[in-house]
């Protein structure tokens, strides 16, 4: 089952707030394999999250 970029970006954002379900992880990773834009977005979000965690120090 294919998801669109809009859904992929929604899942990426959601993953910052809560753990994704297995079904969501599969759908997202399938999309990221095919979509460079969303892959970049996912990596940027992961980096931002890591930085925010350091700066915020558990806020
Ligand atoms: Zn995409």
- Tell me, what's the pLDDT at 1? 58
- Tell me, what's the pLDDT at 58? 55
- Ligand 1 centroid from CA 19, angstroms: 20
- Ligand 1 centroid from CA 50, angstroms: 22
- Ligand 1 centroid from CA 17, angstroms: 20
- Tell me, what's the pLDDT at 40? 97
| Domain locations in the chain as residue ranges | 5-56
- Ligand 1 centroid from CA 4, angstroms: 6
Q: Rounded to an integer, what is the distance from CA 18 to the centroid of its chain?
A: 11
How high does pLDDT run on average in the chain? 91
Place of tokens 């669109």: 4
* 42: number of Cβ within 10 Å: 20
- Ligand 1 centroid from CA 52, angstroms: 24
Report pLDDT digits (tens) over 7-35: 999 999 999 889 999 999 999 999 999 99
- Cα torsion through 24, 28, 31, 37, rounded to 10: 150
């Amino acid at each position: 089952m294919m998801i669109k970029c809009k859904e992929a970006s929604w899942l990426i954002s959601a993953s910052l707030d809560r753990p994704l379900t297995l079904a969501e992880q599969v759908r997202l990773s399938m999309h990221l394999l095919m979509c460079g834009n969303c892959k970049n977005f996912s990596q940027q979000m992961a980096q931002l999250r890591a930085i925010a965690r350091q700066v915020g120090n558990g806020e």
